Amino acid sequence: MKEIYRKFFMKQKLMQKLLFSLIPITLGAVYFFGWRTLVLMGVVTVFGVLTEYIFQKRLNKPVSEAVLVTCVLFTLSLPVATPFWVAVIGIIFGVAFAKEVFGGFGFNVFNPALAARTFLYVCFPEYLTVKWNAAASGFPGGFGSYITPAIDTVSQSTPLLILRQTGQAVPVEKLFWGNVSGSLGETSAILIIIAAAYLIYTKTADWQLMASSLIGFSGLNTILYFINPNAYPNPLFSLFSGGFLFAAVFFVTEPITAPKNNTAKWMYGLLIGVIAEAIRVFGIFVGGAMFAILIMNSFAPIMDAGFKYYEGYKKRKQVTA
């Protein structure tokens, strides 16, 4: 079995570490929303791997382990009740049109998992914005059920939707632990923070990208909050709700789609944070992170080239001075 796996998949240590960091978040999703989490993840993974296999087969190349990370991240960005057929359409689109058409692993301009989720958000918004399930609590939580009960009323929806519809903010401690309604992997701040610490410690994720995006997001939110605390939520609530923390740790730091230049990394992350907060506050979408990241994905190459040229120009000027 191990030999078959090695022949079928391209070994990527970086991706293995990413998968390892996602284990606690996945188990947390099962606890909060039930075993359907793993069933949905299994279905998504089968079709995601199959899609990449079809493209790689004609080139006699193995499937990348990166597609496993894509499938897991994509699943964790969905509500637990997402129909299987909708999730399958999403992952096929993400792998095929956001990765393989650009040449496969290492050549994609956009993050495949994020592109897949955005595609579903636009084409099938009902399943990603209306149909939510209650988060379990106590023992055994979701481990004792296939799926937690569906939520019918707005007053019991996700923290951001509750805030927008009623003006009431869910207690920050609930957001910290994660027993609130939302997408599978985005509700528990503590599990995401643990994953972030592991990724930084093992040098799997770039701390500059992570930090800059969080600074940009929280910075703008803090300014707005101090201007009018009655109109805007406090920064901690904003950071722990809506999935931005999850996006900052796993999507902003994706090495293929992010800049390589250190100065460009800081500007890239800051702009993602600012754009995400601006969309959340002033736009019609409560979660602007996915749009902000995809927008900046398209600017990453030119930012790298621009800052590289500028730094080279400064060095040449110092030499001739």
Q: Is 206 exposed, middle or buried (0-12, 13-18, 19+ CB in 10 A)?
A: buried
Let me know whether 161 and 68 are in one domain. Answer: yes
C-beta separation of 89 from 134 below 8 A: no
Angle of the 112-123 helix axis to the 66-76 helix axis, nearest 10 = 40
Output DSSP code: residue 159: H
Q: Over 90: is that where the pLDDT of 19 sits?
A: yes
How does pLDDT run across 182-199, given as a tens digit for each residue?
899 999 999 999 999 999
- Full residue range of the structural domain in which residue 248 is found: 205-321
Predicted model pTM = 0.92
Residue indicated by tokens 């701040």: 189
Confidence of residue 2 (pLDDT cuts 50, 70, 90): low
Name the domain boundary from 169, 184, 201: 201
Q: Over 80: is that where the pLDDT of 305 sits?
A: yes
Let me know whether 130 and 172 are in one domain. Answer: yes
Q: Over 60: is that where the pLDDT of 166 sits?
A: no
Q: Over 90: is that where the pLDDT of 282 sits?
A: no
Query: What pLDDT score was predicted for residue 82?
Result: 96
Choose between 43 and 232: higher pLDDT: 43
Average pLDDT over residues 159-187: 77
How does pLDDT run across 30-70, given as a tens digit for each residue?
999 999 999 999 999 999 999 999 999 888 888 999 999 99
Confidence of residue 244 (pLDDT cuts 50, 70, 90): very high
Name the domain boundary from 140, 171, 201: 201
> Which of 203, 185, 181 lies closest to 193, judged by CA?
185
- The set of long-range contacts for 318-321, using a CB threshold of 8 Å and a minimum separation of 24, is none
Domain count of the fold of the chain? 2
Name the domain boundary from 171, 201, 231: 201
Separation of first and last alpha carbons in the chain:
64
The pair of three-digit structure tokens given for residue 255, joined into one six-digit string: 């090495």
